[in-house]
């Protein structure tokens, strides 16, 4: 089925993932603004939860989705690049088959940290059996379902707390369900959003500075990088290290067993530090100066809007700023934290 542009339709069915800085609730605004620009191919350079890439796919664009986190790449592989493949009943049987060769890495490494013993055993089994599925898209779909299941079962949606999860249990359904129950539901959810927009979309796992723009030549580049916040930090690995490890069964990841939650080694990005952020933005704008550049940014970040506007103006004659008031929610129910910001789309043509 080939979808026509309809802003009200864009954000309806993409699975919401509690993700720091997610633009999920801004998709209608972003799609409306981007819908006024002329482009056919687009790079989403920092795809994160995959929501914007999927939205762009629904706008009938050829989408190149990229992120330096592996689990973000998997989400985009399943939902943006994948156009046909779904998990069927035979696949589910394969995923749940008992195998004496199943490793117990998750059970041993995260015992008493996040989930029950049975749930950790289940994660080991599904992780092992995913590799038996017939193609990369089925594997990406199953892993995406597992990733979202783990997020929904985690009280705050992040992996920075350990120990007795019952003290965070406020009775909501997500915490009552087991990971297996979540997983079966999420398989249906992700199966339900697979569609073909008749374009050859691609998901990439890498540094955006190394993206081959000469080969793929995106008409538009959408950038939503991590930025230096006014307080705390913007380390995605700290919050989502378990998902990052799970997505690749911790292959080539260095685990810090001195931390309570057994974090993996932090991945460097120049956008996390004041001393390197401005240079990184300048280099990014220079790299993609042949494309329309759309930078998604917030008023609570560093550098300031004026600096970014000036940097982009070095490479683009026409720089336009779109603004929208927005409130970010981080956490759940009584523990929710709210941040009132002004959201920007800085458009260079």
Tracing tokens 């380390």 back to the chain, one arrives at 235
Backbone torsions φ then ψ of 324, nearest 5 degrees: -155, 130
d(CA 266, CA 269): 9
Indicate the range of 25-34, 228-237, 245-254, 294-303 predicted with least confidence.
228-237
Tracing tokens 């997610």 back to the chain, one arrives at 22
Q: What confidence score (pLDDT) does residue 227 get?
A: 81
Where does the pLDDT of residue 229 fall: very low under 50, low under 70, confident under 90, or very high at 90 and above? low
Q: What are 342's strand-pairing partners? A: 325
* Average pLDDT of span 218-232: 85
* Average pLDDT of span 269-297: 96
* Average pLDDT of span 240-255: 97
Where does the pLDDT of residue 341 fall: very low under 50, low under 70, confident under 90, or very high at 90 and above? confident
Indicate the range of 17-21, 252-256, 279-283 predicted with least confidence.
17-21
Q: Where are the domains of the chain?
A: 7-348
* Average pLDDT of span 245-268: 95
Average per-residue pLDDT in the chain? Answer: 91
Is residue 337's pLDDT more than 70? no
* Average pLDDT of span 145-164: 89
d(CA 189, CA 17): 12
Q: What confidence score (pLDDT) does residue 330 get?
A: 52
CB atoms within 10 A of CB 321: 14
201: which 2 tokens?
Answer: 């979309």
Is residue 334's pLDDT more than 60? no
Is residue 115's pLDDT more than 60? yes
- Global pTM exceeds 0.85: yes
Q: What confidence score (pLDDT) does residue 231 get?
A: 58
Q: What confidence score (pLDDT) does residue 300 get?
A: 86
For the stretch 35-59, pLDDT in tens is 999 999 999 999 999 999 999 999 9
d(CA 21, CA 236): 10
CB atoms within 10 A of CB 256: 12
* Average pLDDT of span 296-311: 94
Q: What confidence score (pLDDT) does residue 76 get?
A: 98
Indicate the range of 121-125, 161-165, 233-237 predicted with least confidence.
161-165
Is residue 301's pLDDT more than 90? no
Q: Are strands 301-302 and 228-229 parallel, antiparallel or unpaired?
A: antiparallel
Q: What confidence score (pLDDT) does residue 2 get?
A: 36
264: which 2 tokens?
Answer: 């993996």
For the stretch 306-318, pLDDT in tens is 999 999 999 999 9
Share in percent of the chain as helix, strand, coil (round to 5): 40, 15, 40
The one-character DSSP state at 177 is S
For the stretch 321-332, pLDDT in tens is 999 997 765 544
| Alpha-carbon distances of 27 from 63, 173, 182, 254, 296, rounded to whole Å | 16, 26, 25, 35, 12
Taking a C-beta distance cutoff of 8 angstroms, is the pair 75, 93 a contact?
no
Where does the pLDDT of residue 77 fall: very low under 50, low under 70, confident under 90, or very high at 90 and above? very high
């Amino acid at each position: 089925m080939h979808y026509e542009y309809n802003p009200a339709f864009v954000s309806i069915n993409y699975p919401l993932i509690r993700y720091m800085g997610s633009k999920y609730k801004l998709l209608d605004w972003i799609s409306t603004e981007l819908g006024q620009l002329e482009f056919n191919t687009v790079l989403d350079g920092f795809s994160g939860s995959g929501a914007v890439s999927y939205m762009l796919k629904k706008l009938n664009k050829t989408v190149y989705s990229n992120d330096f986190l592996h689990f973000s790449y998997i989400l985009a592989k399943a939902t943006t690049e994948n156009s046909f493949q779904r998990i069927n009943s035979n696949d589910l049987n394969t995923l749940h088959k008992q195998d004496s060769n199943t490793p117990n890495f998750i059970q041993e490494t995260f015992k008493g940290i996040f989930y029950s013993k049975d749930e950790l055993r289940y994660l080991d089994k599904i992780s092992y059996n995913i590799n038996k599925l017939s193609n990369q898209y089925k594997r990406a779909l199953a892993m995406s379902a597992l990733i979202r299941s783990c997020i929904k079962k985690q009280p705050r949606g992040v992996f920075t707390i350990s120990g007795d999860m019952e003290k965070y249990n406020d009775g909501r359904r997500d915490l009552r369900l087991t990971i297996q129950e979540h997983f079966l539901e999420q398989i249906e959810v992700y199966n339900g959003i697979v569609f073909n927009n008749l374009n050859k979309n691609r998901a990439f796992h890498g540094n955006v500075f190394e993206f081959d723009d000469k080969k793929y030549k995106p008409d538009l580049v959408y950038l939503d990088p991590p930025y230096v916040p006014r307080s705390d930090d913007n380390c995605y690995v700290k919050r989502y290290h378990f998902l990052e490890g799970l997505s690749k069964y911790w292959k080539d990841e260095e685990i810090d067993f001195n931390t309570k939650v057994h974090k993996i080694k932090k991945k460097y990005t120049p956008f996390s530090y004041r001393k390197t952020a401005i240079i990184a933005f300048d280099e990014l704008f220079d790299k993609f100066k042949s494309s329309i550049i759309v930078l998604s940014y917030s008023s609570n970040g560093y550098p300031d809007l004026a600096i970014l506007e000036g940097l982009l103006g070095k490479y683009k004659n026409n720089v336009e700023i779109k603004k929208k008031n927005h409130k970010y929610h981080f956490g759940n129910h009584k523990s929710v934290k709210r941040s009132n910001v002004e959201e920007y789309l800085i458009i260079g043509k």
